[in-house]
Amino acid sequence: MKLPPRRWLLWGALLALVVSLLVVLVFLAAEYEQGRDQSALEADAASVVSDIRNGLLRNVQTLQSLHSVSPSPFAWEAPAAEVLALHRELVRLEWRDNAFKPRVARDSPYQVEPFGVLDREQALPDLRQACDNARRISGPAYSPSYFWPMSGGRGLELMELCLPLVRGGQPVGFLVATYSLPGLLAELPNPDLLRSRGLAFTEADGTRLALHSSVSSRRTLVASALLDLPGHTLMLRLESPRAVYALFPNVLTAVVGVLSLALLAVLGLLARDIGRRQQAEHELAQALAFRKAMEDSLVTGLRARDMDSRVTYVNPAFCQMVGFTAEQLIGTGLPAPWWPPELVDEYQQRQAVRLAGQSLPREGWESVFQRSDGTRVPVLIIEAPLIDARGEQTGYMSAIIDLTEQRRVEEINRASQDRLQATARLATMGEMASMLSHELNQPLAAMSSYATGSLNLLDDSQGPLPVAELRQAMQRIAEQAERAGRVIRSVADFVRRREQVREVVAPAALIEAVQPLMALQARKQGIRVVVDIEIACPQVLCDRTMIEQVLLNLARNGMQAMPEGDPSTRSGLRVLTLQVRALRPPADDALRKPWVEFGVTDHGQGLSEDVAQKLFTPFFTTKVEGMGLGLSLCRTVIEQHGGQLNFDAAKPRGTVFRFTLPSGTGERLSSAP
Amino acid sequence: MTPHPDARIYLVDDDAGVREALAWLLRTRRLLSVGFDSAEAFLAELQSWTREPDVPCCLLLDVRMPGLSGLALFEQLLALPWQAAMPVIFLSGHADVPTAVDAVKRGAFDFCEKPFSDNALVDRVEQALQRSAQELAQRSARRDMQQRMDSLTERERDVMRLVIEGLPNKLVADQLNISVRTVEVHRSRVFDKMGVKSAVELANALRSA
């Protein structure tokens, strides 16, 4: 399957969007996790700070109580040692007088000679600053922290607490407690909070002052909190290794991930589905194009109608056949636009019968369509029920075959056959004259030659008369005269022979015999032929071939009197009627046989007086190609049968030709009428 | 005038009665005829001839015959080089008149409608024979002239052409690049061979041929 570039672009954009959405989702989920960790750490840092502060406060109280119980330097040392033993964060306790002279001091038992390397008095400026603060605020105050080197290259970050001692409203000196910052970190916070975390004091700029523990990981979360003490502020830094999350660190991310995967999968399925659909569409389009080409190439017209006989589909061949466009035809009902106006009633009935009857003849039926320009098209219709996918009939599909060409060939065939027949008949009647003249010419020419020759001999004065020659000539003349006589006799014989072939025929059979030839011309001229034979009409005695010829002649004349457009199709007068009825003999002559009258009625222009008078004259004709023998021969034939041929004006217009024939019951008519 | 005693009339008609009657009539006018009962039979006779006829002749031909019709036979005759030496008179029935008229337009001598006025027909036959005789004479004269022409040499023919054009001997000599004397010799020999005495006579003889 090949996609246009635009579609690839769309798909690419969609994929990029989905992927970036997923990345963002995963990132946000991770961020959220991290944020949660961070805030947990910060809460922990705050609680560590508060632990330390509480510890320091408790220590201040312990130290104050130490002084209230033991006011003398001697009694002070023992409880101080006890305090030092209990509080590992304290490095040294000192009692100094107002001039900062040490009165008594005690070191922590946990530190080995903390002031061995450097003299204690070196820390005096820090100490003094703290004590000045303490006196000013009349409460404990802390000094800034400072680094104190110790033996072995070690050192401690220390911070002094100065507690002013007051007795009776008078300052009596200071209690100085030296804190080790690492000690503070180790002792005061809740150890549960410090598990696998790094804790340190730092300067504001991040320089580490004291370290309790550190984390080895490089990716760490850091929370800082301020430990605000009177006189000094320390920065506490709590570090926690950043949790090394898997790709899906927890349920949320997992859900997002799974959803994303599902989304991708759905996307993939969708793409495949669209692909298949496009394939199917493509195939459908191919099939449609194939079908269309097939329908367009057909010369057979196709037409579908629904159950209400409305047209639902037509193919180009059908449109061409009836001369309407598909748009004009779709949706039209009955009467269909291609029905000839005068046949609408007939077609309506036929349609009703067909719909009621259910059975559709497989071989189809013939019909006539009228094109939009008014010309007629003979067609063969083959109809089949249209069954939909649910097996219900939704209408009818018809194949319509244009029979024009076929008809034309038929017509040419019939016409040539017709001509042949006519020629044959003329040989018996009309052309016989020509034959006769030739046959008689020969002996006459010979006789004339002999006669002239004889005269020549008689006129020739030289020598005696050639009697023998003259005798021979006379003999030849006699021979030729006899020959001419034979010709005349054969004609008489022929006429007699025809009279002998009379037979008893039903009038219907006579009409039936000429019906195909009549129908051919009628169809061509859009004329309807109506045959009306009286019930119980007797049979007639006649020369069948001759009478058929007469019938055909009269019918043809009648149809020629109705050229296309006169009378018009709309008038309903384009009808040729063949009527047969018995002429009952008058009551007083019951013995006579009845006669049968044939009538051929047209609705043409009728006959003018002039034409009517000359109608039966031989060689009179109104037709360009006519010989003018038809009607006179017809009359001769009818008169030979003892009947009469006459004509009359027809109602409302046109002419009716009537001829009579004797009825017959099987016995032969006397040979001469 | 009396026709040539050996003149031949060919009669083609399928009807024996008519044929015999005509032959007999012609005999009463001292004319000899030969009858054929079909066009095919006459064609067979023609094929047996080794050379063109040397006596006047004519053909009486019936238009309507079974087999090859008179008209079809006439078509074939028209292809012969000496057809004019044998004039054709058509005999026709009433119905064939237009056909016969058509044939006359195409070179037939005449047509007679049956039944014919017999002596008039014989008169036409005699005229046809006369025409035939003239034609034969012309053909033989032409043949004679041709033979004389053939006997001339190349140079003599050149001289003759220029002499007919009316050039005097001097100019003829100039054109052919020969002496006047030689021209005179050629000229007298041409007159000799062509059987004429002057240039004018020679020109006339050539024109008529």
Tell me the pLDDT tens digit for each residue of A123-150. 888 888 888 888 888 888 888 888 888 8
Q: Is residue B21 part of a domain?
A: yes
Domains A36-241 and A298-402 share a fold: yes
Residue A431: closest CA among chain B residues belongs to which residue?
A: B95
What's chain B's length in residues?
209
Q: Which residue has the higher pLDDT, A450 or A72?
A: A450
The 3-state DSSP class for residue A619 equals coil
Who has greater pLDDT, A85 or B206?
Answer: A85
State the pTM of this model: 0.37
- The CB-side HSE value for A569 (13 A sphere, CA atoms) comes to 14
> How far apart (Å, rounded) are the C-alpha atoms in residues B169 and B190?
14
Q: What is the pLDDT of residue A599?
A: 93
Task: Tell whether B158 is covered by a domain.
Answer: yes
Strands A528-533, A575-583: pairing is: parallel
Is residue B45 located within the same domain as residue B118? yes
The CA distance from A259 to A591, in Å, is: 116
Instruction: Please list every residue in chain B whose beta carbon sits closer than 8 Å to the beta carbon of residue A452.
Output: 25, 118-119
- Residue A315's nearest CA partner among A397, A395, A377, A374 is A397
- Tell which wins on pLDDT, A561 or A206: A561
| Distance of alpha carbon B83 from alpha carbon B139, whole angstroms | 12
A439 touches chain B (CB under 8 A): no
Q: Would residue B92 count as lying in a domain?
A: yes
User: Is there a domain that residue B2 lies in?
Assistant: no
What is the pLDDT, as a whole number, of residue B11?
92
Alpha helices in A325-398 (DSSP H): 326-329, 344-357
* pLDDT tens digit sequence for B32-77: 899 998 889 999 988 888 777 888 899 999 887 888 888 888 988 8
* B171 and B86 in a common domain: no
Residue A673's pLDDT band (cuts 50, 70, 90): very low
Least confidently predicted of A216-220, A310-314, A510-514: A216-220
Question: Could you give the CA distance from residue A255 to residue A163 in angstroms, rounded to a whole number?
Answer: 59
Percent of chain B with pLDDT over 70: 96
Specify if B1 maps to a domain. no
Question: Token pair for residue A428?
Answer: 């018996």
Is the domain spanning A503-662 CATH 1.20.1260.60? The answer is no
Mutate to test the interface with B, among A426, A442, A455, A470 (most CBs of B within 10 A): A442
Which pLDDT score, from 0 to 100, does residue A462 have?
Answer: 74
Q: How high is the pLDDT of residue A620?
A: 67
3-state secondary structure of B125: helix
> What is the predicted pLDDT for the residue at A431?
57
Residues B49, B114, single domain; the answer is: yes
Do residues B26 and B116 share a domain?
yes
Specify the CATH number for the domain of residue B41: 3.40.50.2300
Does the pLDDT at position B154 exceed 80? Answer: yes
Burial of A600 from C-beta contacts in 10 A (0-12 / 13-18 / 19+): buried
Asked if the bond preceding B115 is cis, omega within 30° of 0, the reply is yes
A475 in contact with B, Cβ within 8 Å: no
Same domain, B158 and B120: no
Which residues of chain B does A451 touch, with a Cβ-Cβ cutoff of 8 Å?
118
Tokens representing A660 are 């009579």
Greater confidence (A243 vs A255) lies with A255
For A583-610, what is each residue's pLDDT tens digit?
876 666 656 678 899 999 999 888 888 8
pLDDT tens sequence across A57-94: 898 888 888 877 656 777 788 888 888 888 888 888 88
Assess if residue B187 is contained within a domain.
yes
Q: Per-residue pLDDT averaged across A285-299, rounded?
A: 86
Q: How far apart are CA A209 and CA A201, in angstroms?
A: 5
Which uninterrupted H or E stretch holds A379?
strand A376-387
Residue range A463-499, pLDDT digits in tens? 778 888 889 889 999 999 998 888 888 777 766 666 6
Mapping DSSP to helix (H, G, I), strand (E, B) and coil, where does residue A303 land?
Answer: strand
For A602, the token pair is 């047209």
Q: The domain at A298-402 falls in which architecture?
A: 2-Layer Sandwich (3.30)
Unique residue bearing structure tokens 């050039």: B167
Of B111, B142, B173, the residue that ends a domain is B142
- What is the structure's pLDDT at A408? 83
Interface of B with A in 105-164 (CB under 8 A): 114-116, 118-119
Q: Is A449 on the interface with B (CB under 8 A)?
A: yes
pLDDT higher than threshold 60 for residue A556: yes
Report the 10 Å Cβ neighbour count for A339: 20
Helix (H) or strand (E) holding A640: helix A630-640
Tell me, yes or no, whether B172 lies in a domain: yes
Mean pLDDT score, A22-35: 82
Q: Residue A440: closest CA among chain B residues belongs to which residue?
A: B115
Contact A444 B116 (CB under 8 A): no
The structural domains of chain A, with segments of one domain joined by +, span: 36-241, 298-402, 413-499, 503-662
Both B167 and B90 in one domain: the answer is no
- Statement: residue B173 has pLDDT above 70: yes
- Region A175-187: mean pLDDT is 86
Does the pLDDT value for residue A226 go beyond 60? yes
Among A426, A436, A441, A449, the residue to mutate for chain B (most B Cβ within 10 A): A449
* Shared-domain flag, residues B133 and B51: yes
User: If you measure CA to CA, which chain B residue comes closest to A458?
Assistant: B28
pLDDT, one tens digit per residue, over A260-276 is 888 888 888 888 888 89
Q: What is the pLDDT of residues A530-543, one digit of tens each?
A: 999 988 888 898 88
Q: Which of B15, B25, B114 sits opposite A453 (nearest CB)?
A: B25
Distance separating alpha carbons of residues A501 and A637, to the nearest angstrom: 13
- Is B95 close to A437, i.e. CB distance below 8 A? yes
CATH of the domain at B203: 1.10.10.10
Return the closest-CA partner of residue A601 out of A529, A650, A642.
A650
Residue A233 has pLDDT above 60, yes or no: yes
Nearest CB to B115 within list A444, A456, A476: A444
User: Nearest to residue A176, comparing CAs of A157, A187, A160?
Assistant: A160
Beta bridge partners of A158: A146, A180
- pLDDT one-digit tens code per residue, B109-136: 888 887 777 788 889 999 999 999 888 8
Q: Which of A359-373, A545-559, A617-631, B178-192 is least confident?
A: A617-631
Residue A103: what residue type?
R
Calculate Rg over the CA atoms of chain B.
24
Residues B37 and B74 in one domain: yes
pLDDT of A245 higher than 70: no
pLDDT above 80 (res A415):
no
How far apart are the CA of B194 and the nearest CA of chain A, in angstroms? Answer: 47
- pLDDT on residue A669: 41
CATH of domain A36-241: 3.30.450.20
Q: Does domain A413-499 have CATH number 1.10.287.130?
A: yes
Domain-located, residue B68: yes
Q: How far apart are CA A202 and CA A226, in angstroms?
A: 10
* A352 against A228, higher pLDDT: A228
The confidence band for A2, taking pLDDT boundaries of 50, 70 and 90, is low
Categorize the per-residue pLDDT at B1 as very low, low, confident or very high, splitting at 50, 70 and 90. Answer: very low
Q: Which pLDDT belongs to residue A422? A: 60
Give the integer Cα–Cα distance in Å for A397 and A390.
17
Gap between the Cα atoms of A214 and A237, Å rounded: 10
Same domain flag for B12 and B87: yes
Percent with pLDDT over 70 in chain A: 88
The SS3 of residue A29 is helix
* A202 three-class SS: strand
Within A460-543, residue ranges assigned H as helices are 467-500, 507-525
Per-residue pLDDT band for B88 (boundaries 50, 70, 90) equals very high
DSSP letters for A87-119: -TTEEEEEEE-TT--EEEEEE-TTSS-TTSSS-
pLDDT digits (tens, 9 = 90+) for A90-123: 888 888 888 888 888 888 888 777 777 778 888 8
- Residue A666: pLDDT band by 50, 70, 90 thresholds? very low
CB B26, CB B33: distance < 8 Å: yes
8 Å CB contact between A600 and A555: yes
Q: Residue A667: its pLDDT value, please? A: 46
Model confidence at B89: pLDDT above 80:
yes
Average pLDDT over residues A2-15: 76
The reply to whether B15 and B67 lie within a common domain is yes
Number of domains present in the structure of chain B: 2
What is the domain extent for residue B159? 152-208
- B67 and B107 both lie in a single domain: yes
CA A85 to chain centroid:
97
Question: Are B161 and B128 found together in one domain?
Answer: no
% of residues, chain A, pLDDT over 90: 6
- Interface check for A460 against chain B (CB to CB < 8 A): the answer is yes
How far does the CA of residue B11 sit from the closest CA of chain A (Å)? Answer: 14
Identify the pLDDT of residue A283: 92
DSSP state of A342: G
